[in-house]
Chains A and B, each alone.
Chain A
């Protein structure tokens, strides 16, 4: 076998079915080998950045590792944003990059880039293969690293001579890693201690995140079971939506900067915070010094470096969420802890009071489509279907998180940690490849969608019935909102001049274009979008000046949350907050 054949054989043995890629000189040998086989399907994207997001969408909706193949130099540098995105959101991706032949490395050869140097800080790990004997082992190891422990992206840089020359093959079983074997079981003593703390809590709160999703569907089932067993309220991060059913009365909604009033106030006032698979991100904590001042904290995370990183906790448990929850449930059932029923009852009464504020309320309109209304209608139309949602980044993303309901994990794909505009369309592509029969919708903004619009061509090529639901406010709405609240309404460069006609644009790409400009048109457009068995861009013209609330301004505490337009006048956003992002 030559190196390229070894690469493909290793991918097949790792269970790979689909590769998202784009050819070029350095990877031509792999493309030649691809041509001669039938086990791997190659999806030709239109820009390498799209390949990585597609692989992320594929990975997040299936729980498998997403695979990317790009050429050297510009192919690899185009992949950098996607790799960083996957690192921030802990998504397992293996990215194969071509490289100039080993004897030319370091010579500023044509299309040479120091790919391992560039991607070192934006991957979980990376490799440069210089010895054909190591090729198969490195690929197997890369998959092991990408999916074990806290998942993440792994780059394998492949010089062209390695791909052309002969190379031996070894099977995955014979390529075990020497050191990298992160533990999955949590310390049982600590789990018992956690149950003890929970038994004594008066105002407990489960705060759970993407770690639950990454741990696999069992983890979500166990979390839901544990939540119901304890009767504790539960909030989820942007990454964790779907980990417990949205319809469950114990679910308080998403927390954080644009989270619900009840979730954020419960965070602030709880006396025991049980963090399962979340990471105290600054979008969640707000001002650290004022973060949940009266609570003791338990943190379950598979990554030891997440524990005590920004928020000190009383009890840290290192382990995989599903394993830890399984033990926690066992211990809980064995102990039959006597809870302080009275205290829990008044805690729930308090939460219901917060809930009664109905924080997602907005001023309805008969004349213009409110973006929230558009999403509420979308939710109505999709709720009984088998659907997957991806998003771009901005106000529409936050509204989607607030108004769409997820009953299961793996149904919601959004760029959380990096906040990458342009994520949603290619991610939807990856999801649709993995779930050809399902309804896949990218909830988009008119600005974000232009960042990877070229992938409409890929969507056309593979006849993917992806739906793009644009909440078109003709503004970089989230930027405009910050300028309104923080910069005296000076809307510097946030108006989207010269937008394309999205209906014609859809048609140019061989898709169907639809538009709604009035509230009464909305239902028909949504219905037609869903019923059309092809790709659709639905251009929903929404209120240009709507802001996304609730909002905890940067540098504020959870209990300084702004509820709406009336609220913002009373409270000034602090100067300290202005320097924050």
Chain B
């Protein structure tokens, strides 16, 4: 076991029974033991067996990351813990909704940038747009940074979902 102090960012997928309190258990574990959560998403992914998939993005030293996985694995409703970052190439995506309120040149500029980011307009009024963008987290952050001076008034992000590349499943 290495005692390296280097901080690493890991994306971890956890398959859990979709029962009341399971999310509180996972979040309580992170807060109770002082681990970082950069993002956490959850939804039922198997409606027959009532399984939910949690995607957690966290950071810490290699020893802490190992701890997080072991602690997650020990929760009773947890079926499987998979460290996507450690286990090879994977895809990470996030969805972003941004509301921009502006007129004139700023409104045109917002549309132009949205086009570059392949954002979709999902709602429009004379004075506002709601853009939808998907992509890697830093792409969404870049989009937000550009929209800020153009009248951005509201942001909503889903947090990261992730899946491994290739034929292997969780």
Seen from chain A, the residues whose Cβ lies within 8 Å of a Cβ on chain B are 116-117, 120-121, 124-126, 128, 145, 149-150, 177-180, 303-305, 307-309, 312-314, 316
Contact = CB atoms under 8 A, between A and B. Distances in A.
A308 B67 contact: yes
28 contacts: A120-B21, A120-B24, A120-B28, A121-B28, A121-B32, A124-B76, A126-B21, A128-B21, A145-B76, A150-B74, A177-B76, A179-B17, A179-B76, A179-B77, A179-B79, A304-B73, A304-B74, A305-B70, A308-B66, A308-B67, A309-B67, A309-B70, A312-B1, A312-B3, A312-B63, A313-B1, A314-B1, A316-B1
A314 B63 CA distance: 13
Given A120-B25, A308-B63, A312-B3, A125 B71 contact: no
Contacts of B32: 121
B24 A180 contact: no
B2 interface: yes
B166 interface: no
Contacts of A117: 24
Interface string B47-80: 0000000000000000100110011011111110
Given A121-B32, A179-B78, A313-B1, A305 B67 contact: yes
Nearest to A315: B1
Nearest to A303: B74
Given A304-B74, A312-B1, A313-B1, A116 B21 contact: yes
A316 B70 CA distance: 13
Question: Chain B's interface: helix, strand, loop or mixed, by majority?
Answer: mixed
Interface residues of B, number: 22
Given A125-B75, A125-B76, A303-B74, 10 more contacts: A120-B25, A121-B28, A124-B76, A128-B20, A177-B76, A179-B78, A303-B70, A305-B70, A305-B74, A316-B1
Looking at B17, B20, B70, B75, the one whose CB has the most chain A CB atoms below 10 A away is B70
B79 to A, nearest CB: 5
Contact of A304 (B3, B20, B70): B70
Task: Name A's interface SS.
Answer: loop
Contact of A307 (B3, B25, B70, B75): B70
Contacts of B76: 124-125, 145, 177, 179-180
A367 B76 CA distance: 57
A305 B63 contact: no
B71 A305 contact: yes
Q: Which 4 A-B pairs have the closest CB atoms?
A: A305-B70, A312-B1, A125-B76, A308-B1
Contacts of A116: 21
A482 B40 CA distance: 44
A345 to B, nearest CB: 32
A308 B75 CA distance: 18
A150 B76 CA distance: 12
A326 to B, nearest CB: 24
A126 B28 CA distance: 14
A145 B77 CA distance: 11
Contacts of A304: 70, 73-74
Contacts of B2: 312
Nearest to B19: A127
Interface string B99-139: 00000000000000000000000000000000000000000
Contacts of B67: 305, 308-309
Contacts of B28: 120-121
A120 B27 CA distance: 11
Which residue among A145, A150, A307, A316 has the maximum number of chain B CB atoms within 10 Å of its CB? Answer: A307
Nearest to A309: B67
Contacts of A120: 21, 24-25, 28
Most A Cβ at <10 Å: residue of B1, B67, B73, B76: B76
A507 B17 CA distance: 55
A304 B72 CA distance: 11
A160 B32 CA distance: 31
Contacts of B71: 305
Contacts of A314: 1
A521 B77 CA distance: 58
A383 B21 CA distance: 50
A84 B71 CA distance: 17
Interface in B1-58: 1-3, 17, 20-21, 24-25, 28, 32
B73 A305 contact: yes
